Amino acid sequence: MTLAELKAFLDEKAAQYEHPDFIGTDPIQIPHRYKLQQDIEIAGFLTATISWGNRTSILKSATKMMTLMGNSPYDFVCNCNTQQLEQLNGFVHRTFNAVDFKFFVWGLKALYASYNTMEDAFVANTEATTVAEMQHHFRAKLLQNTHEKRSEKHIADPLSGSSAKRLNMFFRWMVRSNAKGVDFGLWKHISPAQLSIPLDVHTGNIARKLKLLQRKQNDAKALEQLDKKLRKFDATDPVKYDFALFGLGAFENF
């Protein structure tokens, strides 16, 4: 395919998969259960955090997370005490367990004590001009809270070489327009043009098949390489192609 043909193909696939029907098979359905922005943020962040492995398992585990928080994540985060945190005991999703869950909830409690929304926390550092820098500083804020070393691996640092797939997926959910009924468009201080694609096995493999990505590892350097290509197709909303690349890989075995 020529570059123009490839763009047309990906535009078509992005439009096909950015549809409410997509929600029924995707972890984004968890934050879609809520109306309050803070509930959506917390449900989205926690769901994105455990989004690796089998999608059925992800949905089951994310649903259990919400249930353990009384299906009112913002109220639970803001009002929980150390004793109430104990009701999260027994939770496990792959290598993410109750220790990690309690750390994230307690860290979010501290954040919401200082900021009205999670977006406010991400954009608070005025020296952070890129999404990767925002994510780096947000991670540092969370890790200021007492935690076990094991929990650090569950929040990526894009400035240390990670593609930060789960954080970038969460940002896509929060930032991109909800005009098509999939993403939320809740955050207004970050532009869709600043976003990076959530680089996972599906998007990486399809990007390589389409000659959009040469690097073999799904790391920060690969993300930068893919970002540059996708911005040539649409500089204002490059992450819409997540729908195309993921859909081709997950649903069409392209």
pLDDT in tens, the chain (254 residues): 899 999 999 999 999 999 999 999 999 999 999 999 999 999 999 999 999 988 999 999 999 999 999 999 999 999 999 999 999 999 999 999 999 999 999 999 999 999 999 999 999 988 899 999 999 999 999 999 889 999 999 999 999 999 999 999 999 999 999 999 999 999 999 999 999 999 999 999 999 999 999 999 999 999 999 999 999 999 999 999 999 999 999 898 88
pTM, two decimal places? 0.96
Beta strand segments in 95-231, E:
96-97
pLDDT of residue 254: 85
For residue 14, give the amino acid letter. Answer: A
pLDDT of residue 53: 86
DSSP one-letter code for 197: -
Q: Which residue has the tokens 């109750």?
A: 98
H or E element in which residue 234 lies: none
In a 3-state reduction of DSSP, which class is residue 191? coil
Comparing CA positions, the residue from 164, 45, 148, 168 lying closest to residue 102 is 148
Q: Is 253 left (phi over 0), alpha (psi -120 to 50) or beta?
A: left
pLDDT of residue 229: 96
pLDDT of residue 127: 86
pLDDT of residue 113: 96
H or E element in which residue 192 lies: none
